[in-house]
Amino acid sequence: MQISKLLIIGVLLAFPGLALAGVAPDGVPETSTWYFHADFDQMRTSDGGKHLYSWLQREVFEDVHEDAGIDLDKEADTVTAFSDEESGAVVLIDGKFSQDSKDKLLAIAAGAESLETFEHKGKTFYFVQGDDHGHGDHGGSININSFENGVYFTFALKNRILATSTREKIESLLASNGKVPARKTANGTLMVLSAEKSLIQAGMKADQIENDGDGGWQSNILRNTEQVAVLVADVAGKIAVETQLIAKQPEMAESLASIVRGLISLTMFSDDMDPEISEFLRGTSVGVDGSKLKISVSVDPEMLIAALED
C-alpha cells in the first residue's frame, strides 16, 4: 500500500470512544512480520461500517463473483492473513461456505499448472502451483511473495478456508483444528492496534514494504521506520482511521511528523485537490510520543468513500 494512500485512508485519532488495547486479531501469532485482518461481519452490522462494506461490494466482491462465481459478500465473515520468517504466509477466511463455492474454487485450482491432493490425520488438503505473475513494480507495495512457489489449501476445517505457503504449516494447523498459538507477550513483537468495533487491522515491519529506490519523501519515511500499524474502526457511526509508525529513534519520529504535516499541507491546498479529500486531510491530526508517530482522523463514512473513489 502506498504511504500516500495511508495518508488519504487515514491515521490515528485521540477519539474518546476509541478504546485501544494491545490485543491481536484472533489467529495472529506474535512472531508475525506482517498481518491483515478484515471483519466483514462487523462492517455489515455497524452504522459506519455499512458504507465501507457497500464500497467493497462494488469494488471487490462483484469482480470476484464475475471472475469465479463465488459470493464472498454472502459467505465470508472475516479474513486474516499473516506471515513469519519461519513458516511463511497463512490466510484464513472464516464463514459459512457452500459446497458450490468450494467446488468452484477447486475447479479454478485444477486449471493451474499443477494440482496435488494430500491427507493429514484424515483431513484432505491440496497443493496448487501456477505461473508466477509477479507482484508489480509500484513503489510502496507490500512484499508478500510467500506464495510464489505455490499454495497449500484446505476446506477441512469447519466454516474456514485455510491457505499456507508451506506443507509443514498447513499440517500443523490441521492438527490443531486451525488454532494458532496465542501471543504470550507484546515485547519485541509486531505492534497491533485494536478497537471495540474494528473493521480493518494491518501491521508490518518496515523491511516488508518495498519501495522503488528512487529516494524522495516516501523512501525517507521507510528508511527511518521500524514498524507500521493501521486500524479502521466504527466509532459512534463515524469511521476512525488510525496509523502509528515506530521510528528508529525519538528524534526521527519528530522529523517524520514534520514531513507528514508538510505533505498534508501541500496536498490540502493544491488546486487539483477534490473538496472531499481536502476536508479529510483538514481533520487529520499528527502527534509524537517518544519514538511513535501517531496520525489520526475521524470522518463521516460518506466522505471516506468519496476519498477512496477519487
Domain match, 142 and 199 both: no
Q: Which of 175, 206, 223 is the last residue in one of the domains?
A: 175
Domain match, 155 and 233 both: no
In order, the DSSP letters of 230-290 are EEEEEETTEEEEEEEEEESSHHHHHHHHHHHHHHHHHHHT-TT--HHHHHHHHT-EEEEET
Q: How many alpha carbons fall within 13 Å on the CB side of residue 203? A: 26
Determine the average pLDDT of the residues in 268-287.
73
Q: Among 84-88, 187-191, 291-295, which stretch is predicted with the lowest mean pLDDT?
A: 187-191
Determine the average pLDDT of the residues in 143-165.
83
Domain match, 128 and 82 both: yes
103: which residues sit within 8 A by CB, 6+ positions away? Answer: none
Query: Does residue 249 form part of some domain?
Result: yes
Q: Which of 175, 201, 225 is the last residue in one of the domains?
A: 175
Query: How far, in Å, CA of 230 to CA of 239, rounded?
Result: 13
Domain match, 199 and 295 both: yes
Do 204 and 53 meet the contact criterion of CB atoms below 8 Å apart?
A: no
Query: Does residue 99 form part of some domain?
Result: yes
Domain match, 146 and 233 both: no
Query: Does residue 135 form part of some domain?
Result: yes
Domain match, 220 and 170 both: no
Based on its alpha-carbon atoms, the radius of gyration of the chain, rounded to whole angstroms, reads 20
Query: Does residue 232 form part of some domain?
Result: yes
Q: 219 falls in which pLDDT band (50, 70, 90)?
A: low
Quote the pLDDT of residue 99.
92
Q: Rounded to 5 degrees, what are φ and ψ at 145?
A: -110, 15
Q: For residue 102, is pLDDT > 60?
A: yes
Query: Does residue 262 form part of some domain?
Result: yes
Domain match, 126 and 230 both: no
Residue with the bigger pLDDT between 52 and 71: it is: 52
Query: How far, in Å, CA of 139 to CA of 133, rounded?
Result: 17
Give the residue numbers spanning the domain of 96: 43-175
Query: Does residue 27 form part of some domain?
Result: no
Domain match, 170 and 190 both: no
Quote the pLDDT of residue 146.
60
Alpha carbon distances (Å) from 101 to 132, 156, 205: 24, 14, 34
Determine the average pLDDT of the residues in 160-183.
86
Domain match, 154 and 192 both: no
Determine the average pLDDT of the residues in 118-126.
94
Domain match, 101 and 188 both: no
Domain match, 199 and 169 both: no
- Which position has the grid cell 529516494? 215
Domain match, 251 and 304 both: yes
Quote the pLDDT of residue 20.
32
**231 is written with which cell numbers?**
486500524
Q: 210 falls in which pLDDT band (50, 70, 90)?
A: low
Quote the pLDDT of residue 77.
92
Count of other CB atoms within 10 angstroms of residue 66: 9
What is the count of structural domains for the chain? 2
Query: Does residue 34 form part of some domain?
Result: no
Query: Does residue 116 form part of some domain?
Result: yes
Q: For residue 156, is pLDDT > 70?
A: yes
Q: Which of 175, 205, 232 is the last residue in one of the domains?
A: 175
Do 62 and 209 meet the contact criterion of CB atoms below 8 Å apart?
A: no
Residue-wise pLDDT for 34-69, tens only, equals 888 889 999 999 998 999 899 888 888 888 777 777
Q: 185 falls in which pLDDT band (50, 70, 90)?
A: low
| pLDDT more than 90, % of the chain | 22
